Amino acid sequence: MSSVSVKSLDLNFGDVKVLRNLNIEIEKGEFLVLLGSSGCGKSTLLNCIAGLLDVSDGQIFISGKNVTWLEPKDRDIGMVFQSYALYPQMTVEGNLSFGLKNQKMPAAEIQQRIKQASEILHIEPLLKRKPAQLSGGQRQRVAIGRALVRDVEVFLFDEPLSNLDAKLRAELRVEIKRLHQKLEDNTMIYVTHDQIEAMTLADRIAIMRDGAVLQLADPNTIYNKPANKYVAGFIGSPSINFMDGDLQAGGKKFVSNGVEIDLKRYEFASGPREGSACLGVRPEHINLGKATDKGLFEAQLTIDVVEPMGSDTLVWSKLGDQDFRFRVDGQTKLKTGDQQVVHFDPERVSIFDQDSELRI
C-alpha cells in the first residue's frame, strides 16, 4: 500500500491549468523530491497534498485513506515552510505546543513530545527563546520540530532551505538526511529548485515542468538516463553538452558537422533508428587524451576559456562550431588556444528525438 498516492490530479486557476493529470505513488518511508524551476507546479502539488489548496479533479490518498476533501489537520501530515512561518510572539516551546494544545492533548504528553523532538533536532537550549532571537538555521529546525511533534506519517517540505545561506544550507541538508534515516517509517515529500538538494536527499526525484511530471525515477537514473532533453539539461552542473545531428546507418552512428560518433555501445531506449536527433554528453564524462579503446569517441578541440575552480577546472571549447564544455582535474594545466585531444564513451551519452525531445 502506498503511503501517499495522487490519482489523476488536476488543478486549474481559472483558465490556467496548473497541474495536469498527475499520478504519483509514494511508498511508506520514501523520500520523494519534487524538482523543477519556478512556476512548474511543484509547490502547488505539495499544497494540494497538504490540503491547503482545493483540487479541481482527481483524488489524493494518504495511508490508504481518501483525504481529497479533508482539512490539512486531519490528513496526518506535518509541513515545513520556506519562510519558517513560526509564530513570532510565542517561544520555541509555544510554537511546538500550540497545535497540540489546540487538540486538547494532555500536558504531560505534550511535554514528552516536545522533549523528544527537541532532542532529535538539538534545540533543547532554545526552548525558552522567541523566533526573533534565533538564527535562520535554528528557526528552520524549530519549524521542522513543529511538524515532528505532530507525530504524523507524512512530512511535507516546501523549499525549506531556500532562505538560508549556502553554508547553513549544506549543514541543514545533512541534518534532514539524518532525520530521514532516523525516522524510517515516515514518508517525506520535499519541494526544491536546487538539484543538489534533490540528488543528495531523494530516494526518487520527480522532475516537473508546466504542471506535469517529466520523469519520476531515482537520482542515478535521472542523471544517467534522462527521459527527455529538458531533464538532461536541467540536471547537472555545468550542464550537459548538446550536439544537433543525424542518426545514420540504421542508428549505428551519429553525424554532426562532419563529426562521426560510433553508437555501437549505445543502449537505445526504443530500438535503433535513423533521422534527426540531438546527442547529449555530460562534461564530467569527457576525458583528456587519446582513446584507449576502439569503441570510444575521440576528438581534437581548441580550448577557448579555462575556468579553474580549485578542486576541478571547467574548460570551454569548440567541437566543430558547437560549444563543448568539459571538466578536468584542478591540477591539469591548460590554456586558451591550446589544441587538446579528448575522448568519451558513447555508452554514457543520451540521444533525444528532435521533435518530441524524448530519449531514443
Are 312 and 330 in contact by the 8 Å Cβ rule? The answer is: yes
Shorter beta-carbon distance to other proteins: residue 183 or 199: 183
One of 2, 63, 81, 334 touching other proteins (CB under 8 A): 81
Q: Give min distance, CB of 44 to other proteins, in A.
A: 13
Are 233 and 240 in contact by the 8 Å Cβ rule? The answer is: yes
Are 345 and 281 in contact by the 8 Å Cβ rule? The answer is: no
Q: Give min distance, CB of 54 to other proteins, in A.
A: 5
Shorter beta-carbon distance to other proteins: residue 132 or 309: 132
Q: Which stretch binds other proteins (CB under 8 A): 57-65, 210-218, 241-249, 300-308?
A: 57-65
One of 18, 26, 42, 78 touching other proteins (CB under 8 A): 78
Q: Give min distance, CB of 24 to other proteins, in A.
A: 10
Give the whole-angstrom CA distance, residue 117 versus residue 124: 9
How many binding residues for other proteins (CB under 8 A)? 41
Shorter beta-carbon distance to other proteins: residue 20 or 265: 20
Q: Give min distance, CB of 141 to other proteins, in A.
A: 15
Q: Give min distance, CB of 95 to other proteins, in A.
A: 9
Shorter beta-carbon distance to other proteins: residue 82 or 317: 82
Shorter beta-carbon distance to other proteins: residue 161 or 240: 161
Asked if 160 is part of the footprint of other proteins (rule: CB under 8 A), the reply reads no
Asked if 192 is part of the footprint of other proteins (rule: CB under 8 A), the reply reads no
Give the whole-angstrom CA distance, residue 201 versus residue 178: 10
Which residue is listed with cell 515552510?
81
Residues from 113 through 152 that contact other proteins (CB under 8 A)? 146, 150
Asked if 38 is part of the footprint of other proteins (rule: CB under 8 A), the reply reads no
Contacts of 58 (CB under 8 A, 6+ apart): 6, 7, 8, 9, 10, 21, 22, 68
Q: Which stretch binds other proteins (CB under 8 A): 60-68, 121-129, 133-141, 330-338?
A: 60-68
Are 280 and 332 in contact by the 8 Å Cβ rule? The answer is: no
Q: Give min distance, CB of 108 to other proteins, in A.
A: 20
Asked if 77 is part of the footprint of other proteins (rule: CB under 8 A), the reply reads yes
Q: Give min distance, CB of 146 to other proteins, in A.
A: 7
Q: Give min distance, CB of 59 to other proteins, in A.
A: 5
DSSP letters along 194-250, please? -HHHHHHH-SEEEEEETTEEEEEE-HHHHHHS-SBHHHHHHSSSSPPEEEEEEEEGG
Number of residues that this document lists for the chain: 360
Cell of 260: 562521426
195, amino acid identity: Q
- Beta strands 259-262 and 322-329, pairing class: unpaired
Give the whole-angstrom CA distance, residue 321 versus residue 101: 67
One of 37, 69, 135, 295 touching other proteins (CB under 8 A): 69
Cell of 66: 481518501
DSSP letters along 288-327, please? ES--SSTTSEEEEEEEEEEEE-SSEEEEEEEETTEEEEEE
Asked if 50 is part of the footprint of other proteins (rule: CB under 8 A), the reply reads yes
Backbone angles phi, psi at 334, to 5 degrees: -130, 155
Asked if 157 is part of the footprint of other proteins (rule: CB under 8 A), the reply reads no
Q: Give min distance, CB of 73 to other proteins, in A.
A: 3
- Report the interface residues with other proteins, using CB under 8 A: 7-8, 21, 23, 47, 50-52, 54-59, 61, 66, 68-69, 71-74, 77-79, 81-89, 98-99, 102-103, 146, 150, 158
